[in-house]
Amino acid sequence: MLTKKGKYGLKAVVHLARLPPGASTQVADIAEANNIPKKFLDVILGELRNAGFLSSKKGKLGGYRLAKAPEDIVVGEMIRALDGPLAPFPCASRNAYEPCEDCDVTTCEVRLLMVRVRDAMGTVLDTYTLAQMRDLSQEQLTSFVDYI
């Protein structure tokens, strides 16, 4: 399950992706616009900066901005930076694999299904860029208007 950290991080970077290229904004503005606790958002944005997704500048005219174009940021990479591996269990993880003590990894039905869950999540999250995610609400609105 995606954590609040992951959800808030995605909401914050979508907010930044809606700004003009190269523009930055204050943490307080992002927090208020997206109903995110500011102190928690400070931590999240710091982690995204350390992972190379954001850059920041201190001071009155400072703030956070995207470190690269939204078209070049993969959603799955940001989720992993904030929440860790996508797999629901360590035995199903590709990068943080740990065998279970209570089952045979080659025949455990739970593990085999969770590997498929991990792959399905990765397929979606690793094929969407931040730009595509940003544009989802507009696509939904257009589809809804076309429907009615």
Name the most confidently modeled range: 64-68, 81-85, 104-108: 64-68
Please report, rounded to a whole number, the percentage of residues in the chain having pLDDT higher than 90: 64
Percent of the chain with pLDDT over 70: 93
SS3 sequence of the chain? CCCHHHHHHHHHHHHHHCCCCCCCECHHHHHHHHCCCHHHHHHHHHHHHHCCCEEEECCCCCEEEECCCHHHCEHHHHHHHHHCCCCCCHHHCCCCCCCCCCCCCCCCHHHHHHHHHHHHHHHHHCCCEHHHHHHHHHHHHHHHHHHC
pLDDT at 101: 86
